[in-house]
A and B are shown apart, each in its own frame.
Chain A
């Protein structure tokens, strides 16, 4: 039972444009959401997070939006750079454990 879903396995974007990665969840008890980035042969690295009491969090080129009524969060990368090419995982937590999505492979085309 996948409580966190990333329905787009892959995404291609031109350098300089906006990348939007989406994530849906089913458990209304999730109180913290995170995005991780993963390069091949490396473990995921933490990118940005948001608490359920907020609807937006920004860190440089990365912004995460949370829509609790739709149980949806998204990660915006502006502007996209070739070095952003990686697999992005969203994750949600109830405080006891993390639930991860299946990942979206982002390719930024120079």
Chain B
């Protein structure tokens, strides 16, 4: 069974640009969560999608948005990039909402110059 895949793996953008990251969950998984990992901050929860609906949202500004498609694939968008947005963005999938075991992808490393 293929694991969680994220594309692209690495991305370099400049301030003010926007970016879209993609996540394909494990086949059959319907819940997708996004996290931001920065040094010293650990993993910070961005949002969770289940059956194309945003179920939960973390404490991030509105520049961070996402969506989920009918095949459970998810995208995350960050508009008007800031230097502080440089981070590893991780996607995790689980079978259902409130499923405690999440499976993580390798992440997308975003660098904002």
Using a CB–CB cutoff of 8 Å, the interface residues on chain A facing chain B are: 2, 4, 6, 32, 34, 36, 41-46, 49, 89, 91, 93, 95-103
Contacts and interface: CB of A to CB of B under 8 A. Distances in A.
Contact of A43 (B41, B55, B56, B105): B105
Contacts of B33: 97-98
Interface string B34-60: 010000111111001000000110100
Interface string B64-104: 00000000000000000000000000101000001011111
28 contacts: A2-B42, A6-B42, A32-B100, A34-B100, A36-B104, A42-B106, A43-B92, A43-B106, A43-B107, A44-B90, A44-B104, A45-B103, A45-B104, A46-B102, A46-B103, A49-B100, A89-B43, A91-B43, A96-B55, A96-B56, A97-B56, A98-B33, A98-B43, A98-B102, A99-B45, A100-B35, A102-B40, A103-B42
A89 B100 contact: no
B45 A98 contact: yes
B4 A43 contact: yes
Contacts of B100: 32, 34, 49, 93
B90 A43 contact: yes
A96 B50 CA distance: 12
A100 B42 contact: yes
Interface of B: 4, 33, 35, 40-45, 48, 55-56, 58, 90, 92, 98, 100-107
B90 A101 contact: no
Given A43-B4, A46-B101, A97-B58, A89 B106 contact: no
A101 to B, nearest CB: 5
A45 to B, nearest CB: 7
Return the 7 tightest CB-CB contacts between A and B, nearest first.
A43-B104, A102-B42, A100-B43, A100-B42, A44-B104, A97-B56, A97-B45
B32 to A, nearest CB: 13
Contacts of B48: 97
Contact of A101 (B4, B42, B58, B102): B42
